[in-house]
Structure 1
Amino acid sequence: MAQASSNTDVRQGILDTAHTIVGAKGFSGVGLNEILVAARVPKGSFYHYFGSKEAFGEALLADYFAAYLADIDATLAEPGLSHAERLMTYWRKWQATQGSIDHQRKCLAVKLAAEVSDLSEPMRLALKAGTAGIIARVTGAIEAGMAEGSLRVEGSAQDTAEMLYHVWLGASLMAKIERADAPFVAAMATTRRVLNLQPS
Structure 2
Amino acid sequence: MNAKTNETRQHILDVGYQLILSKGFTAVGLSELLKAADVPKGSFYHYFKSKEHFGEVLIASYFEGYMERIEALFFSKNGTGYERLMSYFNRWLDVESGRCNAHKCLVVKLGAEVSDLSETMRSELLTGAERIIAAIAKCIESGIEDGSITVQDSLSTASTIYQQWLGASLLSKLSQDTAQLGGALSMTEQLLKHK
Establish whether TM, by shorter chain, passes 0.5.
yes
Q: CA deviation at 1:104?
A: 9.5
Q: Distance in 2 between matches of 1:61 and 1:80?
A: 29
What's the RMSD between the two structures over aligned residues? 1.7
User: Which residue does 1:86 correspond to in 2?
Assistant: 84
Q: Cα offset for 1:40?
A: 1.1
For 1:25 and 1:101, the matched residues in 2 are separated by 18
Cα separation, partners in 2 of 1:139 and 1:173, compared to 1, 3 Å: same
- 2:66 and 2:100 in contact (8 A); partners too: no
CA 1:77 to 1:104, structure 2 compared with 1: closer, same or farther past 3 Å? closer
- Aligned match of 2:15: 17
Equivalent position amino acid for 2:194 in 1: L
Q: In structure 2, list runs of 5 or more residues that go unmatched.
A: none
How far is the alpha carbon of 1:26 from its aligned partner?
0.6
* Counterpart in the other structure of 1:168: 165
Q: Indicate the residue corresponding to 2:185 in structure 1.
A: 188
Q: CA deviation at 1:127?
A: 0.2
Q: Report the residue type matching 2:96 in the other structure.
A: S
Cα shift at 1:78: 3.4
Once the 2 structures are TM-superposed, how far is the Cα of residue 114 of structure 1 from its aligned partner? 0.4
TM-score (norm 1): 0.91
Q: CA, structure 1 residues 101+79, in 2 after alignment: closer, same or farther (shift >3 Å)? A: closer
Structure 1 residue 100 and structure 2 residue 68: aligned?
no
Aligned residues: 193
Name the SS for the 1:176 alignment partner: helix
Question: Residues 104 and 193 of structure 1: is their aligned pair in 2 closer, same or farther, counting only changes over 3 Å?
Answer: closer
Runs of 4+ residues deviating >4 angstroms: 101-105
Instruction: Render the CA deviation track for 1:63-88: whole Å, top value 9, x for unaligned.
Output: 10000000101111333311110000
Could you tell me which runs of 5 or more consecutive residues in structure 1 were left unpaired when the two chains were aligned. Answer: none
Distance (Å, rounded) in 2 between the aligned partners of 1:182 and 1:72: 24
Percent of aligned pairs sharing the same letter: 44
Greater Cα shift, 35-44 or 46-55: 35-44
Measured in 1, the distance between the counterparts of 2:163 and 2:60 equals 20
Match of 2:60 in 1: 62
Indicate if the aligned counterparts of 1:20 and 1:104 stay in contact, CA closer than 8 A: no
**One-letter identity of the residue aligned with 2:17:** H
Aligned residue in 2 for 1:39: 37
Deviations along 1:92-146, one digit per CA (max 9) or x if unpaired, are 11221xx338889601111000000111000001001101110000000111111
Deviations 1:166-185 (A, max 9, x none): 00000000001111211011
1:51 is aligned with what amino acid?
Answer: K
